[in-house]
């Protein structure tokens, strides 16, 4: 469902950023002469290196709605903490009626999640994770819940510092 747009192929100076169109909605307004259509687009963008954001755009044409959503998603990009190609710990994210549970996975597992959650995780650069969506299947709420879960992640050293524990160095074998 998610359509991918790569800016690096077009010679964009932002590097290897990726935009994924998660959902396009068509709305009809009935007027005297018939139906007048407008479109809204939900886009997720990221650099596949820990920065990810979402955007929503509305316009009378699909291309304009996608363009507005892409610009909004680039403005909202934030950093998330990753652990190599997975997430540091299990986390639950909520937004509205959308709930998502993300679990770290072993290398080679891939992204086991669907719809908007998969688009967010791919754009963030996560390669191995297991996700389960609960509650609302509304695309916007699932995307926002996934982002809330990713922003709730904390690296191991930060958790240890908060608990007042020392960080032990591993000895090389």
pLDDT in tens, 12-34: 445 678 999 999 999 999 999 99
Residues 96 and 110 reside in one and the same domain: yes
Give the DSSP per-residue string, 39-100: EEEEEEEE-SSSEEEEEEEEESSHHHHHHHHHHHHHHT-EE---BTTB-SS-EEEEETTEEE
- Predicted confidence at residue 157, as pLDDT, reads 79
Residues 151 and 130 reside in one and the same domain: yes
pLDDT in tens, 55-88: 999 999 999 999 999 999 999 999 998 888 899 9
CA 16, CA 6: separation in Å to the nearest integer? 7
Q: 21 near 5, Cβ under 8 Å?
A: yes
- Predicted confidence at residue 10, as pLDDT, reads 43
Into how many domains does the chain fold?
Answer: 2
Q: 63 near 92, Cβ under 8 Å?
A: no
Q: In what order do the strands lie in the sheet with 18-31?
A: 3-6, 18-31, 34-46, 51-59, 78-79
Question: Of the candidates 78, 101, 135, which is a domain's last residue?
Answer: 78
Residues 72 and 143 reside in one and the same domain: no
- Residue 25, classified by CB atoms within 10 Å of its CB into exposed (0-12), middle (13-18) or buried (19+), is middle
Q: 15 near 47, Cβ under 8 Å?
A: yes
> Which is more confidently placed, 9 or 23?
23
Residues 68 and 121 reside in one and the same domain: no
Is 173 within a domain?
A: no
Q: 88 is in which domain, residue-wise?
A: 80-160
Is 18 within a domain?
A: yes
């Amino acid at each position: 469902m998610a359509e991918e747009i790569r800016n690096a192929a077009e010679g964009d100076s932002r590097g290897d950023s990726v935009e994924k169109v998660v959902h396009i909605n068509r709305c009809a307004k009935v007027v005297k002469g018939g139906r007048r259509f407008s479109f809204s687009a939900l886009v997720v963008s990221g650099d596949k290196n820990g920065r990810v954001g979402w955007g929503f755009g509305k316009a009378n044409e699909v291309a304009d709605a996608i363009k507005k959503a892409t610009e909004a998603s680039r403005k909202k990009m934030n950093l998330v903490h990753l652990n190599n190609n997975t997430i540091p710990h299990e986390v639950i994210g909520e937004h509205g009626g959308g709930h998502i549970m993300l679990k770290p996975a072993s290398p080679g597992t891939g992204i086991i999640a669907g719809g908007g959650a998969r688009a967010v995780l791919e754009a963030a650069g996560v390669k191995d994770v297991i996700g389960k969506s609960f509650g609302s299947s509304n695309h916007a709420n699932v995307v926002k819940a996934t982002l809330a879960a990713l922003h709730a992640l904390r690296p191991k050293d930060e958790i240890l510092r908060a608990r007042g524990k020392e960080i032990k160095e591993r000895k090389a074998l």
